[in-house]
Amino acid sequence: CSTYRVQPPFQLSTPVRRPALQSVPTQVSGCNTASSIDGLVHKLVDKGASNFVQLVKAIRDPQQAKQLQKFRNLPRDDANARAVVLTGIAIASQADVHVARLIHCRALVLLADTLDRTKDGRQNVDPVEFKNILAQLELDQTKENLGWIQRMYSEGKSFRPLVSLYGGLLCFLAMVNNRRLYVRLKNDKLKEFQDAISHYRHLWDAGHNLLGILEGEDKKFTFESWDTKDMSEDSLQPLLRVL
């Protein structure tokens, strides 16, 4: 396949550092109780609209748009190139912390999807494929870097069940500090969580549209035509629709 190297400003020194925004496992007692599910939901939706407005404003920043342009210019059907370039941007990003987290989360999912497509019936990804990704990122194939890209792949896979019903949820996960509490939800607890968040479809739909904007779609939210400085959470809710 074609090689898409990460050019400046995405050129990285080696050995690569792990992205500073990668979350650290957090132990929480009672993680599998109903009240904890409620708590996880409230972390996402309390001030969800106002936080989302700030995230969109940060993504609209001209400097951030310039960083994303290389990714946006790639063909939408070239999944490998898109995963590699966005991973490079995620590592090198000096953006607003929540924008950087969103880019990182989206890169994780794209990278996992890309590597899984190489399995060709095998249970595991061929180690050669991890080396190919490092080569396209112009990173040395050291033990440290191979371990890092494998961790990226594993984390990306862990996101997929969580966002399987609402892809836009990814935008809101990028705004919390303890994402591993969410990706640990499995089976009945995951179903309970997804049932609970189904009441906030307006947020996840807004997130879905923001992912489209992140990838180059020409969309504008209603609130972008308003002065939202002193607006309450309730007033912002209906303005999350796209024009």
In which residue are the tokens 């035509």 written?
A: 225
Distance of CA 131 to the CA centre of its chain: 23
Q: Decide: helix, strand or coil at residue 2.
A: coil
Instruction: Please tell me the distance from the alpha carbon of residue 215 to that of residue 108, in angstroms, as a whole number.
Output: 15
Task: Please state the φ and ψ torsions of residue 242, each to the nearest 5 degrees.
Answer: -85, 150
**139 burial class (0-12, 13-18, 19+ CB within 10 angstroms)?**
buried
**185 burial class (0-12, 13-18, 19+ CB within 10 angstroms)?**
buried
Q: pTM of the predicted model, to two decimals?
A: 0.82
Distance of CA 57 to the CA centre of its chain: 17
In which residue are the tokens 């999944």 written?
A: 79
pLDDT computed for residue 95 by the predictor: 61
Q: Are 175 and 196 in contact (CB under 8 A)?
A: no
| Assigned token pair, 192 | 């309970």
Instruction: Please tell me the distance from the alpha carbon of residue 79 to that of residue 101, in angstroms, as a whole number.
Output: 20
pLDDT computed for residue 35 by the predictor: 52
At residue 8's C-alpha, the angle toward residues 136 and 168, to 5°, is 70
| Assigned token pair, 23 | 């979350």
Task: Please state the φ and ψ torsions of residue 175, each to the nearest 5 degrees.
Answer: -100, 5
Residue type, position 182, single letter: Y
Q: Which CA distances in Å does 39 have to 31, 33, 55, 76, 139?
A: 10, 10, 22, 37, 40
Instruction: Please tell me the distance from the alpha carbon of residue 63 to that of residue 51, in angstroms, as a whole number.
Output: 20
Mean pLDDT by 10 residues, the chain (243 residues): 38 36 35 70 95 93 85 86 87 74 90 92 92 91 93 93 94 90 93 96 97 92 95 95 95
pLDDT computed for residue 227 by the predictor: 94
Over the range 40-78, which residues count as b (16 or more CB within 10 Å of their CB) and which as e? bbebbbeebbbbbbebbebbeeeebeebbebbbebeeee
pLDDT computed for residue 129 by the predictor: 95
pLDDT computed for residue 93 by the predictor: 67
In which residue are the tokens 């591993």 written?
A: 180
Instruction: Please tell me the distance from the alpha carbon of residue 25 to that of residue 121, in angstroms, as a whole number.
Output: 32
| Assigned token pair, 16 | 């690569």
